[in-house]
Amino acid sequence: MDCGTTGPRQIWPSICPPGVQIPEAAQPGPEIDVERATQAYMNLLSPEQRARSDAYFEGGYWLQLWQFLYGLAVLLAILSLRWSARMRDWAERVTSRRWLQSAVYALMYTPLMWLLSLPFAWYAGFAREHAYGLSNHTFGGWLWDKFKGMLMVTVLAVIAIVSIYAFIRRAAANWWGWATAFMFAFLLFVFLITPVFLNPIFNKYQPLADGPVRSAVLSLARANEIPADNVMWFDASKQTKRVSANVSGLFGTTQVSLNDNLLNRTSLPEIKAVVGHEMGHYVLDHPLQGAVFFTLVFGLGFLILERFFERGRRRWGERFGIRERADPAGLPLALAILSAYLFLATPLTNRYIYAGETAADLYGLNAAREPHGFATVSMRLGAHRKLEPSPLEEFLFYDHPSGRRRVEMSMRWLGENQGLFTPAPSSQDRGTAANPGAENQ
Ligand SMILES: [Zn+2]
């Protein structure tokens, strides 16, 4: 079975064999030592594998900064070359209706931004992923996915830009209040349509055939009162080597989707652990809470934007050809301010997401009761996420608990729930204690 990258860059030789490997120190027993058990899991990766994963993830910290600066440079170029003013002029020639002018502007602006951002996107999303052996994408496939993404974003951008400029024309300096209310509806709309309508644009979703995985997932769903009778799988392996799953619902149709990497490269205890985590997000209502949180983040951003935009316009408006607040030619200036705010707010938004992920982790442990499954899959995720960051690093950059935190959580949970387990016969037995002799995929 192909279980990761092959060749000199292989990340997973030791933990790659499918199935849960329970290190000796992590065996259930009367005196399980959380720290020792966690360390035993950490030792499953060789120093070379660790170094490689650390380098990939630490490079990602800088990548966030370069991405922000690159985006800023593109926005400033569009402004100072007066391309933005020219797109506004074209829009005015096409129609005299102001709302349509902002729509025409958005129809030109979004593909232009996409094109200018493509070199960076290629480096960060294609070249670098391949260099670390994390991607399965062909260049053509990658470009086609990017193009489809751009069409999708253009439709959403037209809706958002037309609406927000309508608020600016009607409410002048108070536009930001209306824009914040709009953002809430917009985020909910995007969260709701993404799994059902947008994800199938990129991947093919098919019902999972009857078998142990399907019955385990449906049993978990019933136990957690998730009205799902649909278990789907999708072909993520054409893009990436990462494992993932999600639970999503719209109008009473709830579906659990597993990616094929999860199905083909991990074991049943790991699948149950991952699905338990995703069910946590669903049951704890994280999409709705996330929409509320990010509405507040955007609301504050709009307020800051209102203060800085007028200053910037007075200063550079003439040079960039921006006439007034409601002139779509000012959009790149507005987005430059907003992106600076969002960049600086990243540690804050990371904290919010991190808290939700921790809650889902604990929910998943309690629901799936697969501490070794969760510890093992957390080690697999260590291929692209530094396993043991410093506390400051985890605070600033992590939006999910680190691998070490997750293994520690699993081992603590195991230590406190010994009564649920019969001791496993030996470390050679690949089932978990909760599923003695369970067949691994
Ligand atoms: Zn999650």
Separation of alpha carbons 378 and 406, rounded Å? 7
In the 8-state DSSP scheme, what is residue 19?
S
What averages of pLDDT result for each successive group of 10 residues across the chain (441 residues)? Answer: 33 47 77 90 90 93 96 97 97 96 97 97 95 92 96 97 96 94 94 87 94 95 90 93 86 84 92 96 93 96 95 95 96 97 96 97 97 94 90 94 96 89 53 41 38
- Cα of 342 from ligand 1 centre, angstroms: 21
Following CA atoms 181, 182, 183, 186 in sequence, which dihedral angle do they give, to the nearest 10 degrees?
140
CB 372, CB 433: distance < 8 Å: yes
Following CA atoms 306, 79, 294, 251 in sequence, which dihedral angle do they give, to the nearest 10 degrees?
120
> What tokens appear for 29 in the block?
């027993």
Q: Cβ of 344: how many Cβ atoms within 10 Å?
A: 10
Residues linked to residue 233 through DSSP beta bridges, in sequence order: 206, 258
- Cα of 332 from ligand 1 centre, angstroms: 33
- Cα of 403 from ligand 1 centre, angstroms: 13
Question: Which regions of 218-313 does DSSP assign to beta strands (E)?
Answer: 228-234, 245-250, 253-259
- Cα of 363 from ligand 1 centre, angstroms: 11
In the 8-state DSSP scheme, what is residue 190?
H
Q: What is the pLDDT of residue 423?
A: 56
- Cα of 396 from ligand 1 centre, angstroms: 18
Output the CA–CA distances (angstroms, integers) from residue 348 to 57, 293, 341, 342, 410, in the order listed. Answer: 19, 11, 11, 10, 26
Output the CA–CA distances (angstroms, integers) from residue 136 to 124, 200, 233, 320, 342, in the order listed. Answer: 14, 18, 18, 42, 31
Q: What is the pLDDT of residue 229?
A: 83
- Cα of 401 from ligand 1 centre, angstroms: 10
- Cα of 360 from ligand 1 centre, angstroms: 6
Q: What is the pLDDT of residue 333?
A: 97
Separation of alpha carbons 13 and 34, rounded Å? 25
- Cα of 289 from ligand 1 centre, angstroms: 14
Residues 6+ positions from 324 with CB-CB distance below 8 Å: 313, 330
* Model confidence, pTM: 0.87
Q: What is the pLDDT of residue 17?
A: 53
Phi, psi of 230 (to 5 degrees): -115, 120
- Cα of 225 from ligand 1 centre, angstroms: 19
